[in-house]
Structure 1
Amino acid sequence: MKIKFISLLLFCLVCSFAKEQNFDDFEQEYQNYQINDPLSTYNNIMTDFNVALYNYGFRPILKGYSAITPEFLRIGVRNFFDNLFSPLRFVGNVLQFKFEEAGEEFKRFIANTILGFGGLMDPASKMGFKKHPADLGTVLGHWGVGGGFHLVLPVLGPSNLRDTLSLPAIWYANPIGYIDPSWASIVISAYGFGNELSLRLDEIDEIYYNTPNLYPFLRDAYEQRRQELSK
């Protein structure tokens, strides 16, 4: 159960990457992008399952949550969880010898913790300090460990063998994972990621409902994003 909530973060990265791209250009790119995908039949079926679950399960709940929770509160929750993961991004960048990026993550953490009231606000972005995503999967990728075959996780979406096997370590590097009782850490993690998804509903809808050949689009968006982060 704990691992599943970390995977939601990976799904958010896919949506974030897709938003930053021009859809026409990106769809042209993925036609020529080679992915190790021996489980394509399973992955297609699981993608259809995940979309159906989103349509009839997650989306109505998140819509209701968005309706009763002001956006500024949801943004505050997002900022808090983002700041909580900043030390992990710092370590991930250090392990890749990306010291400039690590330094910027350190500055973000200090600025948002002190000036942002424990991370509820994000003054660091206004000060020009960028976020530099990094985790165990990208560290391994940076040092030459391949992603292996692509894998769509039930409920949770795109991943690959390397990143899936990295999830337990990512969880135990997360301070939320040490909250007792364990069910409380699961609830807090679920709320944090659910809150993040509530802020991305328009992006997810755009991808799910307006993208032809959805599975290869999500697959290649994920793999290219992870490859870029591992450089």
Structure 2
Amino acid sequence: MKIKIILLLLLTYSFALDQNFEDFEQEYKNYQINDPLVNYNKAMTHFNMTLYTYGFRPILKAYDQVTPQFFRVGVKNFFDNLFSPMRFVGNVLQFKFENAGEEFKRFITNTIMGFGGLMDPASKMGLKKHPADLGTVLGHWGVGGGFHLVLPVLGPSNLRDTLTLPAIWYANPVSYIEPQWVSITISTYGFGNELSFKLDEIDEIYYNTPNLYPFLRDAYEQRRQELSK
């Protein structure tokens, strides 16, 4: 059970990676956020930063150096294409039919012309990705985020988005692969490969941002509000 919970968090983080870290600073504003667990959240933010610094970062730096770029990009494209149907459904449930249509076109294009999603011809054709998940669907229809919550590994979240993790996991085709350890291995590898493309952005945020915790908290909450509109 603990392993599945961890994988739920890792999977949701792959959705978080759809949200470009470069957008965070542009969208950052000070406003009131429900944060009754502020002391816990600050401690967990410090834990995540330490885990990244001494765990994920050196491993992924080594992975980046020894793995050919085309291979990492292919894996990244494959997982992105795998999540496209979930983004399609998320946009439909928000009645964002134009976005849903573009996601559908992306999926068909990349699946057929991109050799099962290993390549991304859709982006070259101007078809944009439109992040959407169950949390943004609920937010769109008026369900508040609740209190802010920093999760192990994932970082910033809130009560609403955390409670959607099981549904997101079971909507992922990889979760149905048997035996379970294969599913866990594939999901973890996809998460790590995706994260390897974000090391510079994460370094910039973690090591060069004054008042790191409120910045991450406010940026996350505002980004989720923007996606829920």
After TM superposition, is the score higher than 0.5? Answer: yes
Paired residue secondary structure (2:150): strand
Match of 1:106 among 92, 104, 107: 104
The 3 A distance-change label for structure 1 pair 127 and 137 is: same
The alpha carbon displacement at 1:8 in A equals 2.2
Match of 1:3 among 4, 8, 13: 8
* Alignment deviations for residues 59-107 of structure 1 (CA, whole Å, 9 cap, x no partner): 0100110010012211111100000000110011001110000000000
* Alignment deviations for residues 5-26 of structure 1 (CA, whole Å, 9 cap, x no partner): 1232254245x1x3125x4x65
Structure 1 distance, partners of 2:199, 2:177, is: 29
Structure 2 distance, partners of 1:128, 1:112, is: 12
Q: TM-score, normalised by structure 1?
A: 0.93
Q: TM-score, normalised by structure 2?
A: 0.94
Structure 1 distance, partners of 2:88, 2:18, is: 17
Aligned-residue identity in percent: 75
Asked if structure 2 preserves the Cα contact closer than 8 Å seen for 1:5 and 1:193, the reply is: yes
Q: Which amino acid aligns with 2:65?
A: A
Corresponding residue for residue 64 of structure 1? 62
Asked if structure 1 preserves the Cα contact closer than 8 Å seen for 2:61 and 2:196, the reply is: yes
Asked if structure 1 preserves the Cα contact closer than 8 Å seen for 2:92 and 2:100, the reply is: yes
Q: How does 1:141-152 map to 2 (within 5 A)?
A: 141-152=139-150
User: Aligned pairs, how many?
Assistant: 224
Structure 2 distance, partners of 1:107, 1:127, is: 10
Segments of 5+ residues of structure 1 without an aligned counterpart are none
- Whether 1:74 and 2:77 are equivalent positions in the alignment is no
Q: Which amino acid aligns with 1:139?
A: V
Structure 2 distance, partners of 1:155, 1:85, is: 20
Q: Which amino acid aligns with 1:47?
A: T
Asked if structure 1 preserves the Cα contact closer than 8 Å seen for 2:27 and 2:222, the reply is: no
